[in-house]
Amino acid sequence: MLRFDGDVVVVTGGANGLGRAYALEFARRGAAVLVNDVGSAHSDLAVEPAAAQRVADEIIAAGGVAAANDLSVTSFEGGQAIVADALDRWGRIDVLIHSAGVMRDRTLARLDPSELHAVLDVHLSGGFHVGQPAFRAMKEQPTGGRIVMTSSTSGFFGVFGQAAYAAAKGALAGMTRVIALEGARYSIRANALVPVATTRLSPDRDPLSPRPPEDVAQFVVALCHRDCAATGMVFAAGGGWAGRMGVAVGQGFAQPGAAAEDVAANWDRVTALDFDEMADGFAIGPFIDAQLSDSTIAPDV
Ligand SMILES: NC(=O)c1ccc[n+]([C@@H]2O[C@H](COP(=O)([O-])OP(=O)(O)OC[C@H]3O[C@@H](n4cnc5c(N)ncnc54)[C@H](O)[C@@H]3O)[C@@H](O)[C@H]2O)c1
């Protein structure tokens, strides 16, 4: 059994759906869990004041160790206070899972800036608000830590009506890659998760094949165990299936000083994407590869 005895786990959005499943499973495996949740419905129509406490009580009733925190991840101070809460109670943080989420589906033509920001605030800014203090605390621990940021298929492939959500989720995956790069020398591992589960945020489309959040929780437990070395990756998981997602850049067309006409004449080569190139899931081609290793920023900046 993969155990988490002595580990401290913080789960944002831990009162419902996936977050609740993670909180219960980590606690069952010996971790002390801080269940964070503002208790908002994803539509903001209903608010459940003691939502986080409900799940913490469930864990404690089952013999586990847990505490509730009802602050919002949308403010910098809130994110800091959530992590500080775990540190004050248990003195460390080993795993952070950012699962808080809201939805405001709207086509781009109708999207109101307030809706855009409501979504970005929870998913993307929220990831930074809790991610930074967690990173800072993990950096001081010889054992480092593990961070999971919740992304979505929408962030990679796009879903009609989800410009805001896709932007937030795609950006969060990008930020996670950077956390992994910057955390490597402190044994901090960061991965993005693309879950598929039946929850109130993502109701069942096919009643014949329900996808319990508990299945995703099993994957997340394996990913967050101290013996799992994965970092900087994107994983999709749901319904008992899990797999790695990648980004591909084709070989493309290269000609120094190419004019627009040259590009147009070689459009087939520019757009070609050969999956044989995707040996390790991140077939990025020589041009992008050189760009990535070109960072001039000193590690301590
Ligand atoms: N269910 C899926 O299939 C699926 C697919 C892709 C991504 N996701 C993502 O997974 C995460 C969990 O989603 P879920 O399906 O369990 O939804 P859910 O609605 O069941 O749970 C989300 C929780 O986040 C909480 N929350 C909202 N705003 C918050 C805030 N500001 N601070 C703290 N907590 C807040 C809500 O109160 C809720 O309890 C979300 O980030 C979601 O976007 C889910």
Measured CA to CA, the distance from residue 286 to residue 127 in angstroms comes to 31
Ligand 1 in reach of 155 Cβ (< 6 A) = no
How many Å apart are CA 168 and CA 219, to the nearest integer?
A: 23
Q: What is the pLDDT of residues 198-232, one digit of tens each?
A: 888 877 666 667 789 999 999 999 999 999 999 99
Amino acid 289: pLDDT: 58
Q: How far is CA 202 from CA 73, 137, 168, in A?
A: 21, 33, 17
| Ligand 1 centroid distance, CA of 72 (Å) | 13
At residue 115, the pLDDT reads 94
- Which regions of the chain carry the CATH code 3.40.50.720? 8-245
CA of 102 to the centre of ligand 1 (A): 6
**Are the C-beta atoms of residues 7 and 32 closer than 8 Å to each other?**
yes
Determine the CATH number of domain 8-245. 3.40.50.720
Tell me the pLDDT tens digit for each residue of 112-162.
Answer: 999 999 999 999 999 999 999 999 999 999 999 999 999 999 999 999 999
Q: Which two tokens stand for residue 245?
A: 């997602």
Residues with active-site annotation: 165
**What global pTM score does this model have?**
0.93
Residue indicated by tokens 């749901």: 238
pLDDT of residue 200: 82
Residue 19 Cβ < 6 Å to ligand 1: yes
Given this model, what pLDDT does residue 247 score? 80
Give CA–CA dist 3/221, Å, rounded.
Answer: 9
